[in-house]
Amino acid sequence: MHPNNSLDVDTNDGLKLKFRNNFGKATTLYGYLTFSYNATNGLLQAKKRYTYSYATASGTTGGTINTPTWTEVTGFSAADYYVNFTGGVYKLVQDPTQATPLYLYNSPIDLGVPAFMNPIPVAPVTNLPAPFMSKVTIAQVEGSNGIITICQQHLQKPGGHGRARPHYQIGR
């Protein structure tokens, strides 16, 4: 799986499963599905859908602070539908006889954190997602004078501290 994309259903495209942006500042806000897996028959069944959104507020240093949330969709119409794979496309189907068995295996590779790197194991936490900042203009990032403007002034008028050289001497 991808850290910022998740598996979601497209209800406007025949219940196809698609990887969607599920984090950050996005033009279109999607969501993700949760599944249950039956190891006996290999069927994956959609259980819940959560949608992604974020609230925007002004930041104290310019830009905006975006606080993400994921909300369960009550009355999710494809709850308890099964995953079908046909013609290179995954989609949800209501009838379990149309579902495609998918087999999940334990990996022979241990992708966990080795004990020597985590000598005092810490239990997982349920913190809320961290807000993320969005600074969209040079002025907000660099301040009112602008770093580029200051650098250009030094290159055009060398001297003073003895380290600046005219722009035609840079790289020589």
pTM of the model: 0.65
Identity at 164, one-letter amino acid code: A
Instruction: Mention every residue, 6+ apart, whose C-beta is less than 8 A from residue 135.
Output: 59, 62, 63, 141
Least confident of 22-36, 88-102, 106-120, 130-144: 130-144
Quote the CA–CA distance of 92 and 126 in Å, as a whole number.
Answer: 30
83/159: higher pLDDT: 83
pLDDT for 106? 86
